[in-house]
Amino acid sequence: MTPDGRTSGPLDLVLLGPVGAGKGTQARRIAERYRVPHVASGDLLRSHRAHNTPLGQTAAEYMDRGALVPDDLVISMIIDRMRQPDANHGILLDGFPRTVAQARALDKELEAEGRSLKLALYLEVPFEVLVERAAGRWTCRTCQATYNYRVNPPRKPGLCDIDGGELYQREDDRPEVVSERIKVYLRDTVPVVDYYRDRGILREVDGTRDIEGVAGDIQRQLKATVC
């Protein structure tokens, strides 16, 4: 900790927020700027599904109905990822933790390595806006970048700006599944927000602003905290 209250050491961050809050878009920017790996639990699970691993097969039945994959499976998947060498200088977790049990497991793992979470950034978006946003979302099959035809369209319809990959609508972005995911969020993940608020490391960011506006707010929060 420096005299002005900022911290140094590995940059371990979590990005919290409901489905459709824009976590993925902002996470990619933070990861690039601070050179830490962006680890999205949903992307890892989708990759397991694509490779038809035992974890992918189990996860599929939960994901398709908007439920959470059991804690023990997700926790060990994330801990394995955290132990890879590219996470030695920090990690940006997106979509994890989603339950208080996951948050506690994360603290324990970081503590065992003499590390601690620097910040939990919370992207706040009113729930009315979320269903609409998720329903208009298209995802790149190869790099998982997301677009929204209203607020953030790709330059060429149907193709990713970054790698030209095909854009598709995720099965769990269907409106009825999104409603379920929001319910689960309120029940299981809002307590995680309170968990970090109680620890004094929660920073709330207005996620209703445009992408640049949100990115600017996040940048200010990070600058104020991190050396």
What is the contact surface with ligand AMP in residues (CB under 6 A)?
19, 41-42, 45, 62-63, 66-69, 74, 95-96, 98, 102, 172, 181
CA distance 169 to 148: 10
Both tokens assigned to 118: 């620097």
Residue 51 CB neighbour total at 10 angstroms: 9
CA atoms 124, 73, 79, 104: torsion sign: positive
213 φ/ψ angles, rounded to the nearest 5 degrees = -60, -45
Give whichever of 46 and 203 is closer to ligand AMP, judged by the CB atom. Answer: 46
Give whichever of 8 and 100 is closer to ligand AMP, judged by the CB atom. Answer: 100
Both tokens assigned to 212: 């640049």
Among candidate residues 140, 138, 165, the one with its CA nearest the CA of residue 151: 138
* Catalytic hit among 23, 28, 133, 203: 23
Active-site residue flag, 83? no
Give whichever of 93 and 155 is closer to ligand AMP, judged by the CB atom. Answer: 93
CA distance 67 to 117: 26
Output the smallest distance, CB 96 to ligand AMP, in A. 4
Active-site residue flag, 118? no
Active-site residue flag, 49? no
* Catalytic hit among 115, 118, 181, 203: 181
Active-site residue flag, 170? yes
Give whichever of 105 and 222 is closer to ligand AMP, judged by the CB atom. Answer: 105
* Catalytic hit among 29, 65, 170, 174: 170
Both tokens assigned to 220: 């200010």
Output the smallest distance, CB 93 to ligand AMP, in A. 9
Active-site residue flag, 23? yes
Helices (H) and strands (E) in the chain, counts: 9, 8
CA distance 6 to 3: 7
* Catalytic hit among 28, 46, 98, 203: 98
Output the smallest distance, CB 46 to ligand AMP, in A. 7
Q: Minimal CB distance to ligand AMP: which residue?
A: 42
- Residues noted as catalytic: 23, 98, 137, 170, 181
